[in-house]
Each structure stands twice: as C-alpha cells, then as structure tokens.
Homo-oligomer: A and B are copies of this chain.
C-alpha cells in the first residue's frame, strides 16, 4: 500500500513537472511569437518602406504592361531595390511574354439616336483584342445580359451586329470579388461567344462596382477556330445610358474604332530576391505579387501594392536581425495580366531544382486593410495555419475560412505547395481595377503597411514552425 501510494505520488510529481515544463515552454513560445509579431508591425508602421517604394513604382515608373518600356524599367527597379536592401541574392528569370499594344485612343459613339442624336461614350479596348483599324466599325447594336440570351438570339439576331454585354456586377454581394466573378465571363469570353453567331464586334460593360465615367480594361481570350472580333469596354455610366437609349430606340447604331495590335512575344523577366535559410535552405517560402500592370493605370493597387509588400516582408525580417530557418523569396512575377507566363516560368524553374516550395503567399487584391488569408492546401496544413489565428486576430486578421491562392503561384500546386492569398478588404478594389484611377493617391499608407506586416507575420510563423 505504501509503495503503491509512493509510486502514485512520484508519478504525479513527474507528471506535474512535465505539465509545468509544457506550460512554461508553451507560454514562452507564445510570448516569443507575440513579441516577434508585435515587432514586425512596429517596423512596418513605424519605419516602413512599402509606401515610398510604391510612390516610386507608381509615380516615377507608372504603367508597365508586359513588353512595354515601363515593364522593363520596373524589372530594373525591383532588382536595384532588393540589391540595395542587401538581400542574400537577387536575380532575373527570363521569360517570353505576349506583347499587345493599345495604339491611339479608342472611339465609341452612339450614332443617330432619336432623342439624343450622336453621343460619344467612354470606351477602351480590352487587352488582347484585335483593333478595328482606322475605318472603324459601324453596326446596329443589341444588348444581352448573358450567353443564354445571346444563344436565344442566335445567328439571325446577331449576324452583322455589335453585341453589348451589359450584366452588372451584383452590388448585393458583400465580397466584390464574388461580384466580379459573376460578371467577368462577359469580358473574358464575350467576343468569341458573340463571334460564333456572326457578330462584328462587342462592347462590354466595365467590371466596376459603381457608376463611373471611365472604362475598365482587362484581358479577353479568343477561342480557337472562331473569328477574332474587336472588343471594347464601356464605362458603367455610359453602359446605363446606352441601355436606356436602346430601350426606346432599338434601331440605334454604334461606331467603334480601335487601333490595338498583337505584336510578337517579347523578352522579359521575373525578379527574385532571396534570404537564404539557415537550417532548411532547400525549403522555400515565396511571397509575391505581379510586376506588370495594365497600360491605362499606374497599377498602384494592381499590383504595385503586392510587389512592394513582398519586398517589404523580407526587408522587415532582415532589419529585425531575423535569421530564417527556411529560404524566403520575394518574387515579382511578370505578365499576370495577359498571359500568366511569369507564374508558369517560375514554377517550371522551381521543378528543375531540388528546392521544395512549402508555401507561397500572393498579394493581388490591392493594398487595403487586411482581413485574413485564403488558403488552398490539404486539410492538415489548412488547420495548422488556422491555429495561428489567435496570434493574428489582434491585428484585424479574422478571416481564414476561404479557399484560394493566386494566379501567379497557382502553377506551383503540383509541387504540393500550400497556396495562400493575402485577403484585404474588398470594397474599393473594383473602383480602380484596370483603370486610369488606379493611382498612388488611392492607396492609404497605413492600410498598405498593415498588409506588409500581416504577410511578414505569416511568413515568420511558417518559417519557424513549418507546415507539416
């Protein structure tokens, strides 16, 4: 009996000591993480560089469509910037990119409406569209809301006409990306869908959240074996006007003129900056954005923000004297907007090395206040990331529930890489997206900096604990 009691007491003592040690080590680790993350935010908000970097990229370089002089300047700027921050290595990764040019400004004109006569409207060619040439196209115009309505009209109703796709982004969607997803097939596939029935051109309502004066460009994809017809975006305000005129005056004609051209593929680069891992240097964590932008804008939110935030993640960690266990890379992907060649090339090169990309985080939803991260990964990995939520919630990062990675990091999926999307507030993104309004002054300094810090905090946790 005595022995038995003694054994129990001894076991309890050992167990209590174990519990105490567990408690202490958990607290210590929790406290270390809390204070490291606090330090990351202090650096980003108190002595951050993302805002001044974005100022330069937006105001000194400006638009940077693949193959343009701006894109070349942005490549050199990224390289120099990361070299100046003294990252362990910085290199260029060659990639051939599509080369589309807009040419002189487009014309869109409602011709001979009964009540308003001839009305100039604000339009721009969709990226990748063929031009009308200097003679333009004039034809009667028919409004549809979706491809079903188009199919019902058939060749009889569409042949020789311009098709006007006018389904708005649904304002009732709380997430504006969901509203975009519900409308963007008109822009991406509308031209080829209409061409199947003999349309001579298409006019697409801009992918904008509000009533605006300026049009939103963006890429289209021509389907194989269908005539390539010219496609313009029209501002949401003028789309509403045209729709109103068409209700009263179905016979109205439309004149469109565009001068865009598809040139030969051009040489360009992804730009990669690296902090080498001290323990597992063959394990790579990527944080990235895309360096190219549409030609109409400075691309401050899309995706200058993502680029400078990615550079800032490495800069902050380095400036804290943090020695990563794993290799951290900031990647400026080229050609997200009209081809995705940079993302594909990066993944292709990654497959050729012994490196294992354990995680990739993309920022391509603008430089707005952080709300969380989207995660595309196996269940265990997803749960592991979600378990860090208590460390990140004090910084407003509350949403870890959605799936999703990013266009540029998607090609890493076959490596088993956890694909993570930085998720900022979405309300203002589609005011600016792909337009002349996507300028530096639309970016708030603190919102941008909080994004850098959020990404750095997550990179720190993945680096420290791994994902398995």
Please report A residues at the B interface, Cβ cutoff 8 Å: 41-42, 45-46, 171-172, 174, 176, 209-210, 369, 371, 394-396, 398-399, 425, 427-428, 431, 444-447, 450
| C-alpha spacing A42/B174, complex, angstroms | 10
**Given the known A-B contacts A171-B46, A431-B444, are A425 and B369 also in contact in the complex, defined by CB atoms under 8 Å?**
yes
Cβ-defined partner of A425 (8 Å) among B45, B425, B445: B425
A427-B444, A428-B447 given; 5 more Cβ-contact pairs under 8 Å = A41-B172, A42-B172, A176-B446, A427-B446, A431-B444
| C-alpha spacing A170/B45, complex, angstroms | 9
Chain B contacts for A41, CB-based, 8 A: 172, 174
Identify the 8 closest CB pairs spanning chains A and B, nearest first. A45-B171, A427-B446, A398-B398, A42-B172, A427-B447, A369-B425, A45-B172, A428-B444
A451 to chain B minimum Cβ distance, whole angstroms, is 11
A174 touches B395 (CB 8 A): yes
B369 touches A427 (CB 8 A): yes
List 12 A-B residue pairs with CB atoms under 8 Å apart, sorted by A's residue number.
A42-B172, A45-B171, A46-B171, A46-B172, A174-B395, A174-B450, A210-B445, A369-B427, A371-B396, A427-B446, A427-B450, A431-B444
Chain B contacts for A45, CB-based, 8 A: 171-172
What residue of chain B has the Cβ atom nearest to residue A445's Cβ? B210
A309 to chain B minimum Cβ distance, whole angstroms, is 15
| C-alpha spacing A369/B447, complex, angstroms | 13
What residue of chain B has the Cβ atom nearest to residue A39's Cβ? B172
A48 to chain B minimum Cβ distance, whole angstroms, is 9
A394 touches B172 (CB 8 A): no
A446 touches B396 (CB 8 A): no
Chain B contacts for A42, CB-based, 8 A: 172
Among A46, A209, A395, A445: residue with most chain B CB under 10 A: A445
What residue of chain B has the Cβ atom nearest to residue A371's Cβ? B396
Chain B contacts for A396, CB-based, 8 A: 174, 371, 425
A215 to chain B minimum Cβ distance, whole angstroms, is 19
| C-alpha spacing A371/B209, complex, angstroms | 20
| C-alpha spacing A394/B175, complex, angstroms | 10
